[in-house]
Amino acid sequence: MSRIGVQPIQLPSGVHVSVDENNEVHVKGPKGESSRVIDPAITVEVDDQQVVLSRKSNQKKIKALHGLSRALINNMVEGVSQGYSIQLEFNGVGYRAEAKGQVLEMSVGYSHDIHFEIPEEIQLEAKTERRSNPKVTLTSHDKELLGEVAAKIRNLRPPEPYKGKGIRYVNEWIRRKAGKAGNV
């Protein structure tokens, strides 16, 4: 038995889950709505305040899909009820970030500014306080999309291990290296 797949998903108040005939799960809540097609080998049942998943066979692939499907639906339920947030910090001399609508304008050490288009499902906030590094906050109900966009922004200038310059997640630990020792 899948330890994760057999656990029921408790639905908070204000969240509604429905399953159509194509095994597509629709989740609606105060923060938004999400939908995802689940493999036909997994059965999704919605009771009065919980969602239960079961599988039709014990093949290794279907066992893996059982836990995966439960985790994906749980992330959708948590996203539409509470939402997700990721913070990025720009660390470097002259690094800046500015939000203009759904476009993030960044200056991260290249000869030109970078304009990064943010999808409509994600709320963008850029904050620069005096004597501190610029911080960008991304908020959404879709955990998968949020992580993908944050990773793309971080990959524009990943943190380097010698000075720590670059774009990093807040609370991300960067392993620092010693520089060149030189001859003494």
Each residue's pLDDT tens digit, 25-38: 999 999 999 999 99
Type of residue numbered 120:
E
- Domain count within the chain: 2
- Strands (E) in the chain, as ranges, are 9-10, 16-19, 24-29, 32-37, 42-46, 50-55, 84-91, 96-100, 103-107, 114-117, 123-127, 135-140, 166-169
Range of the domain at 25: 9-81
Write down which residue in 52, 81, 110 finishes a domain: 81
How big is the CA angle at 71 (ends 29 and 75), to the nearest 5 degrees?
30
Residue 146 counted as domain residue: yes
Q: Is 178 among the domain residues?
A: no
pLDDT at res. 181:
76
Q: Are residues 124 and 77 in the same domain?
A: no
Domain edge (last residue) among 81, 103, 134: 81
Q: Are residues 56 and 120 in the same domain?
A: no
Q: What is the pTM of this model?
A: 0.88
Token representation of residue 149:
């966009």
For residue 5, name the pLDDT band (cuts at 50, 70, 90): confident
Do 156 and 140 fall within a single domain? yes
In-domain check, residue 43: yes
- Asked if the structure places residue 151 within a domain, the reply is yes
Q: Tell me how far apart the alpha carbons of residues 25 and 72 are, in angstroms, rounded to a whole number.
A: 10
Percent of the chain residues past pLDDT 70, beyond the cut:
97
How many Cβ atoms are within 10 Å of 57's Cβ, its own excluded? 8
**Pair 33, 70 in one domain:** yes
Q: How many helices (H) and strands (E) does the chain have?
A: 2, 13
Distance CA 148, CA 153 (A): 9
CATH assignment at residue 21: 3.90.930.12
Q: What is the mean pLDDT of residues 65-72?
A: 94
Same domain as 113, residue 77: no
CA dist list (Å): 111 to 45, 94, 107, 145: 55, 12, 9, 29
pLDDT at 38: 94
Query: Given pLDDT bands bounded at 50, 70 and 90, which one contains residue 184?
Result: low
Label residue 183 by pLDDT band (50, 70, 90).
Answer: low
Q: Of 126, 54, 59, 122, whose CA–CA distance to 97 is shortest?
A: 126
Tokens of 56: 């039709």
Condensed to tens digits (0 to 9), the pLDDT of residues 74-102 reads: 999 999 999 999 999 999 999 999 999 99
